[in-house]
Structure formats: C-alpha cells, structure tokens
Amino acid sequence: MDKYRVLVVDDELLIRDLLYDFFVSEGWDIVVADGGQKACEYLRNQQFDLVLTDLKMPDMDGLALTGKIRSLYPYLPVIIMTGYPSLDSAVTALRSKVADYIVKPFNVNHLFKAAKKAVDEWRQTAGSSATH
Amino acid sequence: MKRADSIIVIDPEEFIRDLLGEYFGRLGYQVFPVADIPTALGLITSRAIPVALVDLGISPGRGMASIGQLVQVRPDLQVVVLTGCPTLDSVIGAFRSGVFDLVIKPFRLEDLRGIVERAMTRAREQAVKADLRRRVEDLEDILRRHGLTPPANERHFAEPHEAVREASE
C-alpha cells in the first residue's frame, strides 16, 4: 500500500508546523501550502489522498478552494478546519461533500483519526483512479 | 420522475406533515407522513422508500440517534434533515453521519423539491451500483463453483499462450 499523501493548507505557520510534524511522525507524506493559490498549484502538479484546509485565509477561503478541488478531482476528500465556525459555512461545507468540518482549537489525534477515516473510505470506494 | 418514487416524511408537527404530504403528492410522489420513529422504522423496512425527510425534533435531544436507527435498518436510505433549531453540533453531527442534506426551517418548498430530486437521483445511482455488485458476486460464485477462478482457470489462458509460443519456435 502506498504511503498516504496529504496537502495541508493554512495561513498560520504554527498549524502548518504542528500538522507537518504530526503527520510525518505517523508515516504520511505531507505537503504544506500557506494559501489557496499555492495549494491549487500543488494540486495541478501532484497527487494527494486528502486536503486539509483552513476556512478563512487571505487569498482564498477554504470553501472556494474546495470548489476548485471538486472541479479538478470530484471525489478527493477534503477536511475543513476553522477557528471561526458558523452554521452557514458548516451547511455549505456539507453540501460540498467535505469529509469533515473540524473546529479549532482541535485535538490533533481527533483530526488525524478523521483524516485517516476519510482516506481509508476514499481508497476503498472510489480509489485513486477515480480522481487522478 | 418515476411513478414509484416515494418519500417518507417524519415530523412531529402535523402541519408540516400535511404541508409536505400535499406538496410532494401534487408533484406525483407517493408520500408516507409519520409522527414517530417506530412507525417510520416499520414502513422503511417493509417498503422500498428511497428518501426520508426527517425533522431533528422527532426525538427531542436524540434526533441524530434516531436518524442513525433509520440508516442502520436501511443503509441505502437518503436522509434529508429538517431542523428549526440548528446548532453547529447538530449540523456537523448530521453530515458526519452521512445524511444527504440538511435544510433549515423555514425553507422554500421549491428549494426542498430540488434537494429531494437530487436525493432520488443519488438513490437510483446507488441502486444501480448495488445491482451491479450483486451481479458480479453472482458471476464470481458461478466461476468458483465451476473451478474457473484463479489459479484453477490459469491453465485456460496459459495453454493457448504455450501453444502459440511453441508454434513460433
């Protein structure tokens, strides 16, 4: 089985560093981006099993990024992380078929569990061939 | 819309049951309005109803658990949650449990109609996939029973290849 490969998109360096160290320690490949534009660049040129994205970012919000991901890879799992949760964004995220909506501050073990579940389900049902 | 398309409306409010029953009934759907989960469980077990409209207030404080009961007996059921008192936890909980959509009351009937149509489409697609999976399993079973599964059937493919190789030498 290939290593799981995750793209983390967050404008906060602290979150990027935290998630980088954690996912590497769990044996995952991880690429980090500090905003939506950079993430789109990575997504066009590399393959991922999952995108973890912040909701509020200066250049592009996480829901807009999710829309762009859906146009490139309709089934690629996306998890939204946010320090500013709202009913509207949660419902919009639900309708965009995100795999989960995680409120900051989060327990990194819970986030990892959600990430693994999303990738396992995706690999089991759609598989890489459906998205890449 | 297919003639057999049916919806179960699970809502404690009679007004909502009547409203949705009349609206979707006029659109040609067969509507089953019920006021409690046990009745709903009986109906979805005995009838091939593809879509459920469920008010979270159907079991105060246990709305998501009740939806879990419905999905447990009918994993193919497309659940649309209706709620007049949404909370972040209930919205997140709803989509973690895999509901098709969530609609906040008050809603426009036209919007709900669109959601129901999409839920019906999803139900049909899933039924086709399930049917294909069953057929593949049946075929695999036939192959197994006739000893045609790998490695038993490898000789059927290997022998002609051997013959071609020998002929070309």
What CATH number does residue B35 fall under?
3.40.50.2300
Q: A80-89, B85-94, B158-167 — which one is most confidently predicted on average? A: A80-89
- Provide the CATH number for the domain around residue A88: 3.40.50.2300
pLDDT computed for residue A129 by the predictor: 44
Kindly list the residues from chain A whose CB atom is less than 8 angstroms away from the CB atom of residue B102.
Answer: 91, 94
Q: What percent of chain A has pLDDT over 90?
A: 83
Chain A nearest-CA distance from B96, in A, is 7
Based on the fold, state whether residues B22 and B78 are members of the same structural domain: yes
* Nearest-angstrom CA–CA distance, A26 and A30: 10
Tokens of B131: 């049917």
Size (chain B), residues: 169
Chain A nearest-CA distance from B86, in A, is 8
Instruction: Report CA-CA distances (Å) from A28 to A2, A5, A35, A130, B112.
Output: 10, 6, 21, 21, 41
Q: Is residue B4's pLDDT more than 90? A: no
Query: Does residue B1 lie in a domain region?
Result: no
Domain that holds residue B104: 6-128
Kindly list the residues from chain B whose CB atom is less than 8 angstroms away from the CB atom of residue A101.
Answer: 92, 95
Q: Is the peptide bond before B12 cis (omega within 30 degrees of 0)?
A: no
Q: Pairing between strand B78-83 and B51-55? A: parallel
As for how many domains chain A has, the answer is 1
Based on the fold, state whether residues B51 and B121 are members of the same structural domain: yes
Query: Does residue B111 lie in a domain region?
Result: yes
CB contact under 8 A, A85 and B88: yes
Strand order in the sheet with A5-9: A29-33, A5-9, A50-54, A78-82, A100-103
CB contact under 8 A, B91 and A91: yes
Based on the fold, state whether residues B44 and B109 are members of the same structural domain: yes
Residue linked to tokens 């919009």: A92
Predicted confidence (pLDDT) per residue in B28-60, tens digit:
999 999 999 999 999 999 999 999 999 998 877
Q: Name the CA radius of gyration of chain B, rounded.
A: 23
Probe site for chain B from A66, A86, A87, A111 (most B CB atoms < 10 A): A87
List of E strands, A13-129: 29-33, 50-54, 78-82, 100-103
Q: Could you give phi then psi for residue A102, rounded to 5 degrees? A: -110, 130
Kindly list the residues from chain B whose CB atom is less than 8 angstroms away from the CB atom of residue A90.
Answer: 88, 91-92, 95
Based on the fold, state whether residues B46 and B107 are members of the same structural domain: yes
pLDDT band with cut points at 50, 70 and 90 for residue A131:
very low
Based on the fold, state whether residues B55 and B26 are members of the same structural domain: yes
As for how many domains chain B has, the answer is 2
Based on the fold, state whether residues B63 and B77 are members of the same structural domain: yes
Instruction: Report CA-CA distances (Å) from B8 to B4, B12, B98, B142.
Output: 13, 13, 18, 38
**Is the pTM for the entire model greater than 0.90?**
no
Based on the fold, state whether residues B85 and B138 are members of the same structural domain: no
pLDDT computed for residue B148 by the predictor: 79
Based on the fold, state whether residues B37 and B73 are members of the same structural domain: yes
Kindly list the residues from chain B whose CB atom is less than 8 angstroms away from the CB atom of residue A91.
Answer: 86, 91, 102, 104
Based on the fold, state whether residues B72 and B43 are members of the same structural domain: yes
pLDDT computed for residue B18 by the predictor: 97
Based on the fold, state whether residues B78 and B157 are members of the same structural domain: no
Domain that holds residue A90: 5-130
Based on the fold, state whether residues B105 and B148 are members of the same structural domain: no
